[in-house]
Amino acid sequence: MTLLEIKNLHLQFNSDEGLALVLDGINLKVQKGETLGLVGESGCGKSVTGMSILQLVPTPPGEITQGEIIFDGENLLGKSTKEMREIRGRKIAMIFQDPMVSLNPVYTIGNQIAEAIDLHQPKGISSTWEGVVDSLASVQIADPASRAHNYPHQFSGGMCQRGMIAMMLSCRPSLLIADEPTTALDVTVQAQVLKVMADLQKELGMAVILITHNIGVVAETCDRVAVMYAGNIVETADVETLFENPQHPYTRGLLGSIPRADRDMNELTIIEGSVPNLTKPPQGCRFHPRCKEAMDICRQTKPTDLDLGDGHIVACHLYG
């Protein structure tokens, strides 16, 4: 069952250098309970996609010019500020890359989680506090009852991120948007946080959009993957298909360019050049200046989404 559907979303930013077309017609579906990985390099629009779902994109300079975001049958783009506030946290929650920035340094962790619970599910002081301790326990904070009285600076980076997860999940949202949740963490701690997230997701039956640039993390945690490049989703597939049988030249290049820790690699795939400036995006397919297989049509016409079967969608003229 589809929980969230993004249809033809266009978003632009008014910058000093001119109008940047940051999202150029995004189509995306998230099923109930699944983990969707949204991957791509910096500036491809993956974070902004997550933020536009919750309408956290500052307007101005940002502006959604076209499209729909349908969550649970309703278009979020038509909601008022008050209605959005009801949805944020209770139905859709989001965690960010740097927990130290997201948490308020002058309130205790417990206090901040209690605030989230109070706001959405008021149930009296003592049972709220029980909820706080329970949620800290659920993310494997040792000694949660006394740790709840700690301030963020008394927590390590990994514990802060688990605290954020506890806060976000205390209201049992049906969708969690996790924007680079483990990027600031060391690998041994990253493994702990990813495990906590996966266990809780299973328990709550919640869907997750995992926004990351780390292809390894995607392979380990996601059910489906959408690959973004310069404001477009270029390929979507279930995780096994995407890694075994990538179709878009960018996906293939990206997967081949990762130095792997589990095997020796003689050569990495090189994608020449760098990501385009989105105030002057290339005509046609935005990847064509870096594509080894670029044809004439790629320079003129934007490729449309093509379904290769089993939900494997690719936007590339090679298959059109």
Residues that bind another protein (CB under 8 A): 41-42, 156-159, 186-192, 195, 213-220, 239-240, 243, 253-255, 257-262, 264-265, 267-272, 274-275
Please, which residue, 240 or 307, has the CB nearer to another protein? 240
In this structure, are strands 35-39 and 224-229 parallel, antiparallel, or unpaired?
parallel
Neighbours of 8 (CB within 10 A): 12
Given a contact cutoff of 8 angstroms between Cβ atoms, the answer to whether 213 and 39 are in contact is yes
Please, which residue, 76 or 196, has the CB nearer to another protein? 196
Please, which residue, 33 or 157, has the CB nearer to another protein? 157
Separation between Cα atoms, residue 220 and residue 283, nearest integer Å: 35
Q: How far is the CB of 238 from another protein (least distance, A)?
A: 9
DSSP letters, 155-206, are S-HHHHHHHHHHHHHTT--SEEEEESTTTTS-HHHHHHHHHHHHHHHHHHT-
Q: How far is the CB of 80 from another protein (least distance, A)?
A: 38
Q: How far is the CB of 270 from another protein (least distance, A)?
A: 6
Q: How far is the CB of 191 from another protein (least distance, A)?
A: 4
Please, which residue, 52 or 192, has the CB nearer to another protein? 192
Please, which residue, 151 or 243, has the CB nearer to another protein? 243
Cis peptide before 281 (omega within 30 of 0): no
Q: How far is the CB of 189 from another protein (least distance, A)?
A: 5
Q: How far is the CB of 248 from another protein (least distance, A)?
A: 13
Catalogue the long-range contacts made by 112-121 (C-beta closer than 8 Å, 24 or more residues apart).
112/167, 113/148, 113/163, 113/166, 113/167, 113/170, 116/89, 116/167, 116/168, 116/170, 116/171, 117/170, 117/171, 119/89, 120/89, 120/90, 120/171, 121/90, 121/171
Please, which residue, 177 or 210, has the CB nearer to another protein? 210
